[in-house]
Amino acid sequence: MKNNDSSNGQKHLRNSINDLFYYKDSYQECRRDFVFNCNSIKQKVSNANLFNFKVKSSADKDLKVDLFHIPARRNNKKLLIISSGVHGIEGFVGSALQNMILKEHAENDNLGDYGMLLIHGVNPYGFKFLRRVTENNVDLNRNCSVSEQLYQIQNNGYKDLYDLLNPKGKVKTSIFRERYFYLETANKILTSSIKTLRQAVLQGQYDFEEGLYFGGKTFEPQVELLIPIIKDISTHYNKILCIDIHTGYGDRGKLHLLLNPIKDAIKRNSIEELFNGMQIDWGDSDDFYTFTGDFPGFIAQIRPDIPVYPITFEFGTINNKGMLGSIKSIHNMITENQGAHYGYRNEHDEKSVHDNFMEMYYPSSQEWRLKVMEQFRNTMQLLVER
């Protein structure tokens, strides 16, 4: 019995160590592994299609979004879409999970029951230059739509918080400044509520181009390019499950399933059945928020004629569901955005801000990375079986 336990333990350790190899530290490495794994599958699945398109940029001439489509191998009309890197810096984890899917699930016989489309690095600028936003300072997860009416939405709550969220001048980090921000924000929470503040900040805004959570004035290039691509690929399917991978919000190391509220009872019941046994945040709980222009909802807009089930997989990093965690998260966002526009007082301040920002979206902890990989693997196995 002891020998068996030792053998199982060693096997688990080997698997864990192997899981760490999925994680890379640059946009180029992530793309390289993704393309390599896709090409390996193409050698065995003749009708699989790997392609990409460039995103115009004045900062880099080789920013690409990669897409890999494996059609259903049997006569089934279901399509699974898994996207990553909508918030650029979050693409490291999304890429690792997509590469795990390619290595472990893409040749699974159950996959023949549905098609799969992987969209890698939707925001390559943010991915490469370690920002959440695009080169235009646009939060891509507030920009996705088939109609420009999105960009006319008014967020009055954000306007009331503008000065707090968008300070001017070079970033100066200090314990005093951070404590002052915490106190000022806590005071605003006491005069309203954490839910009201979170909704005002995170919903998305379309007025202040230099501000946090700016959703843009028009389609970002990749949004416009993806509309005909997704429409064409999904033509032969009559049901879509769209999973968009993110990091940041929620309890550290935990997978959170996030959706905007769905009024269609049949669709809601189908999602609850598919993810039976897992908690789903529907955007109507006391500690959550709704937002506009999200990528999974964008897929549903492209195919309004068929059932589309859009869901966000969010892996928590800094325990930011409570008040203190929320304030810390917002403070990290503010200083990074301020630094991007106005610079830093010195190199120490810049490094401090960037280190905090990186840890909030791509934690260096091996334990965290292994836990994320394990949860995603187990969840995908359930989805395949169901």
Per-residue pLDDT tens for 272-323? 888 988 888 886 665 566 778 999 999 999 999 999 999 999 999 998 777 7
Taking alpha carbons only, the member of 377, 385, 375, 386 closest to residue 270 is 386
More confident residue, 145 or 192: 145
189 pLDDT higher than 70: no
Question: pTM here?
Answer: 0.92
169 pLDDT higher than 90: yes
Domains contained in the chain, CATH given: 30-153+213-317+365-386 (3.40.630.10), 156-202+318-362 (no CATH)
CA–centroid distance for 117 within its chain: 16
Say which residue the tokens 């995908």 belong to: 380
| DSSP category for residue 21 | T
% pLDDT > 70, the chain = 90
Q: Which tens digits make up the pLDDT trace of 314-369?
A: 999 998 777 778 888 889 999 999 999 999 999 999 999 999 999 999 999 999 99
| Average pLDDT estimate for 35-60 | 94
Q: Residue 300 contacts by C-beta under 8 Å, 6 or more apart in sequence?
A: 242, 308, 310
More confident residue, 60 or 9: 60
- The predicted structure's pLDDT at residue 2: 40
Helix (H, G, I), strand (E, B) or coil at 205: strand
261 pLDDT higher than 60: yes
CA–centroid distance for 340 within its chain: 21
* Residue 344 amino acid letter: Y
- The predicted structure's pLDDT at residue 280: 86
C-alpha distances in angstroms, 269 versus 82, 160, 284?
21, 38, 16
More confident residue, 97 or 18: 97
- The predicted structure's pLDDT at residue 112: 63
- What burial letters (b/e) apply to 218-231, b meaning 16+ CB within 10 Å? ebbbbbebbbebbe
Q: What are phi and psi of 299, to 5 degrees?
A: -60, -40
Taking alpha carbons only, the member of 59, 201, 35 closest to residue 121 is 35
- The predicted structure's pLDDT at residue 4: 45
- Please give the mean pLDDT across all residues of the chain: 88
Contact predicate 82/98, CB 8 Å: yes
Q: Residue 334 contacts by C-beta under 8 Å, 6 or more apart in sequence?
A: 165, 166, 167, 181, 212
Q: Which tens digits make up the pLDDT trace of 202-212?
A: 788 999 999 99
184 pLDDT higher than 90: no
- The predicted structure's pLDDT at residue 110: 55
Q: Which tens digits make up the pLDDT trace of 220-252?
A: 999 999 999 999 999 989 999 999 999 998 999
Alpha-helical regions (H) of 130-237: 156-160, 162-165, 175-191, 194-202, 221-233
